[in-house]
């Protein structure tokens, strides 16, 4: 690296959101053995079907967003530098389709497992990701892309 050049950094995201997702699902499974949750208010068949549909929708949403990053030649990990603002596909409807997808996947898995703890911990996932990933990413993108990003924020909701 030449003098005066600094390696560009991405958003200051310290906690990988997929790791948090796995940890909270595991915590929900473990909690079930420590503190029995009330049963889910749906028949088991409904839980399985709705859970599977949510999981498939989540994988399609998150996978399409991941693919758009790859298509743009960017690393989808939030702490890596970005070269372009992705605003097509799922990004036309939500600024955070991968996070929405992961949270929806957690709800779907919780329903399929019949585990209310996993379902409830999806709210914890969203709150933690909001503060540890979304807000740092927004600050980074605002600094990197300026008015383009601010205009995008005015047109597209943060989540849904």
pLDDT per residue over 29-65, tens digit each?
Answer: 999 999 988 888 889 999 999 999 999 999 999 999 9
DSSP-derived 3-state class of residue 128:
helix
Query: Is 56 among the domain residues?
Result: yes
CA dihedral sign, ordered 65, 133, 113, 39: negative
Question: Token pair of 23, please?
Answer: 């940890």
Query: Is 30 among the domain residues?
Result: no
Query: Is 60 among the domain residues?
Result: yes
The backbone torsions φ and ψ at residue 89, rounded to the nearest 5 degrees and listed phi first, read: 55, -135
Report the predicted TM-score, pTM, of the whole model to 2 decimal places.
Answer: 0.92
Query: Is 61 among the domain residues?
Result: yes
Question: Token pair of 156, please?
Answer: 């597209």
Can you tell me the distance from the alpha carbon of 158 to that of 84, in angstroms, rounded to the nearest whole number? Answer: 18
Whole-Å CA distances, 160 to 41, 60, 97, 156: 25, 16, 9, 9
Find out whether 150 and 27 touch, Cβ atoms under 8 Å. no
Query: Is 17 among the domain residues?
Result: no
Q: Is 38 exposed, middle or buried (0-12, 13-18, 19+ CB in 10 A)?
A: exposed
Give residue 131's domain range: 40-155
Shortest CA distance to 58 belongs to which of 18, 29, 23? 18
* Domains: count for the chain: 1
Query: Is 116 among the domain residues?
Result: yes
Query: Is 24 among the domain residues?
Result: no
Average pLDDT over residues 97-119: 97
Task: Give the list of residues 6+ apart from residue 142 with CB closer than 8 angstroms, or none.
Answer: 149, 150
pLDDT of 83 over the 50 cut: yes
Average pLDDT over residues 12-34: 96
Can you tell me the distance from the alpha carbon of 122 to that of 31, in angstroms, rounded to the nearest whole number? Answer: 14
Query: Is 5 among the domain residues?
Result: no
pLDDT of 1 over the 50 cut: no
Average pLDDT over residues 19-31: 97
Neighbours of 56 (CB within 10 A): 13
């Amino acid at each position: 690296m030449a003098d005066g050049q600094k390696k560009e950094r991405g958003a200051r995201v310290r906690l990988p959101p997929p790791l948090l997702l796995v940890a909270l699902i595991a915590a929900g499974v473990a909690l079930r053995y420590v503190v029995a949750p009330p049963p889910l208010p749906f028949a088991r068949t409904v839980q399985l079907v709705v859970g599977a549909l949510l999981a498939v929708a989540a994988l399609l949403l998150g996978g399409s967003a991941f693919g758009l990053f790859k298509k743009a030649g960017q690393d989808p990990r939030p702490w890596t530098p970005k070269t372009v603002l992705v605003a097509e596909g799922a990004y036309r409807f939500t600024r955070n389709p991968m996070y929405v997808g992961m949270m929806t996947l957690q709800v779907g898995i919780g329903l399929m497992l019949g585990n209310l703890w996993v379902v409830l911990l999806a709210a914890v996932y969203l709150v933690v990701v909001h503060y540890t990933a979304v807000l740092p990413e927004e600050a980074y993108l605002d600094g990197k892309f300026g008015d383009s990003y601010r205009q995008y924020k005015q047109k597209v909701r943060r989540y849904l």
